[in-house]
């Protein structure tokens, strides 16, 4: 029986994991260990619900409710002096809990501190844009929508950014295969030549490592030489291997087992 592969996460998985193996954890420390972070967290806690907060690899992580995202980041910017939104994007947890996790990576240049604000939203839910606070979120949110399909409210120009506008599917979701889905393999054929040319051209090969054994247009096989494009799926003729030296090249002879001598005494 073929092994079951989960359909909600089609990314590559290790083929073997020791049954007793327990993954270690990156250490999380308490926020109170850092005075600057502790003060910031107090200020956030005074106004908003904080679901979780800790320090990991020198940066504070604050988990908030998704509805508070705009006001928390507004406070981070205006009150707590976090003056840059270095990065923001989503993480796909749809397979395990049906949610997207949105993270905002913020930097305070005056405090020399980095904080990550995180919140979770459901698949069909949308999130408030922070583009009014940080212009950099304009493109980040578009990329997030493009890659995950997370809809952002109040965004001035909610449009795909990296993929073509008429693309279907969201490439960074765990359900999206690495080589692209069926839409992807017909996209260029349909767009350039039209759907009616599908049978002539065939689907695009989106796996660069794929080798078709019967492909005589891109691959030749020694000993089975056929004209370009011949159909060999029903069998292929043997062609004799010819060597240049068959006619006699100085010092080079073709190996002939019968004429060869087996040396039994290695010290001869």
Partner 1 sequence: MQQANRLRPFFENITFDRDDNELILNFGPQHPSAHGQLRLMLHLQQEQITKAHPDIGYLHRGMEKMAENMIYNEFMPTTDRMDYIASSSNNYGFALAVEKLIGLDVPRRAKVIRMMLLETNRLMSHLFWLATTALDIGAMTVFLFAFREREYLMDLIEDYCGARLTHAAIRIGGVPLDLPDNFIADLRKFLDKLPENIKDYEDLLDTNRIWLMRMENVGVISTEMALSWGCSGVMLRASGVEWDIRKEEPYELYDEVDFNVPVSDKGDNYARYKLYMAEMRESAKILYQVIDMYEGTEPALMAHAPQYISAPKIDIMTQNYSLMQHFVLVTQGMRPPVGEVYIATESPKGELGFYINSQGGAYPYRLKLRAPSFWHTGILTDLLPGHYIPDVVSIIGTTNIVFGEVDR
Per the CB < 8 A criterion, the answer to whether 108 and 126 are in contact is: no
Q: Is residue 99 a contact partner of residue 123, using CB atoms and an 8 Å limit?
A: yes
- Residue of 11, 169, 180 lying closest to 96 (CA atoms): 11
Q: Total number of residues binding partner 1 (CB under 8 A)? A: 50
| Cα 180 to Cα 98, 101, 192, 205, distances in angstroms | 22, 23, 18, 10
83 or 128: CB nearest partner 1: 83
Q: Select the residue interacting with partner 1 from 14, 227, 229, 248 (CB under 8 A).
A: 14
- Cβ proximity to partner 1: between 37 and 176 the closer is 176
Decide if residue 246 touches partner 1 (CB under 8 A): no
* Ranges within 75-94 binding partner 1 (CB under 8 A): 83-87, 89, 91-92
Measured between alpha carbons, how far is 144 from 152 in angstroms, rounded to an integer? Answer: 9
* Tokens representing residue 149 in the block: 């399909």
**Given 1, 5, 7, 25, the residue binding partner 1 (CB under 8 A):** 25
Residue (50 or 137) nearer to partner 1, CB:
137
- 223: helix, strand or coil: coil
Site string for partner 1, 33-52 (x = CB under 8 A): --------------------
Name the minimum Å distance from CB 253 to partner 1.
38
Report helix, strand or coil for 176: coil
Nearer to partner 1, 132 or 219 (CB): 132
Q: Does 56 bind partner 1 (CB under 8 A)?
A: yes
Binding-site string for partner 1 from residue 173 to residue 202, where x marks contact by CB under 8 A and - marks none: ---x-x------------xxxx--------
Which residue from 47, 135, 198, 224 is in contact with partner 1, where contact means CB under 8 A?
Answer: 135
Q: Which of 29, 136, 175, 185 binds partner 1 (CB under 8 A)?
A: 136
Give the DSSP per-residue string, 226-267.
--TT---TT---------GGGGTBTTB----TTT------TT
Round to whole Å and give the CA distance between 240 and 251. Answer: 23
Whole-angstrom Cα distance, residue 109 to residue 80? 11
Which region holds residue 202: left if phi is over 0, alpha if psi is between -120 and 50, else beta? Answer: left
Residue 155 C-beta: closest distance to partner 1, Å: 14
Residues that bind partner 1 (CB under 8 A): 11-16, 23-28, 56-57, 59, 61, 83-87, 89, 91-92, 103, 105, 107, 109, 112, 114, 116, 134-136, 138-139, 147, 160-164, 171-172, 176, 178, 191-194
């Amino acid at each position: 029986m073929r092994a079951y592969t989960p359909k909600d996460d089609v990314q590559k998985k290790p083929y073997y994991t020791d049954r007793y193996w327990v993954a270690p954890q990156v250490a999380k420390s308490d926020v109170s260990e850092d005075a600057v972070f502790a003060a910031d967290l107090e200020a956030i806690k005074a106004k908003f619900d904080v679901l979780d907060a800790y320090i990991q690899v020198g940066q504070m992580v604050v988990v908030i409710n998704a509805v508070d995202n705009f006001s928390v980041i507004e406070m981070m910017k205006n009150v707590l002096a976090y003056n840059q939104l270095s990065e923001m994007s989503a993480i796909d947890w749809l397979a395990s809990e049906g949610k997207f996790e949105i993270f905002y990576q913020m930097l305070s240049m005056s405090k020399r501190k980095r904080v990550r604000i995180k919140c979770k939203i459901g698949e069909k839910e949308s999130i408030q844009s922070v583009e009014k606070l940080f212009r950099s979120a304009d493109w980040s949110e578009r990329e997030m929508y493009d890659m995950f399909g997370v809809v952002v409210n109040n965004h001035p120009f909610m449009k795909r950014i990296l993929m073509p506008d008429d693309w279907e599917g969201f490439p960074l979701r765990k359900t999206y295969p690495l080589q692209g889905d069926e839409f992807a393999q017909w996209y260029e054929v349909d767009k350039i030549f039209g759907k009616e040319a599908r049978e002539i051209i065939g689907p695009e090969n989106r796996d660069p490592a794929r080798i078709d054994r019967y492909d005589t247009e891109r691959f030749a096989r020694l000993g089975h030489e056929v004209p370009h494009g011949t159909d060999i799926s029903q069998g292929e003729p043997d062609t004799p291997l010819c060597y240049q030296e068959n006619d006699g090249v100085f010092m080079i002879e073709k190996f002939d087992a019968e004429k060869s001598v087996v040396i039994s005494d290695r010290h001869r």
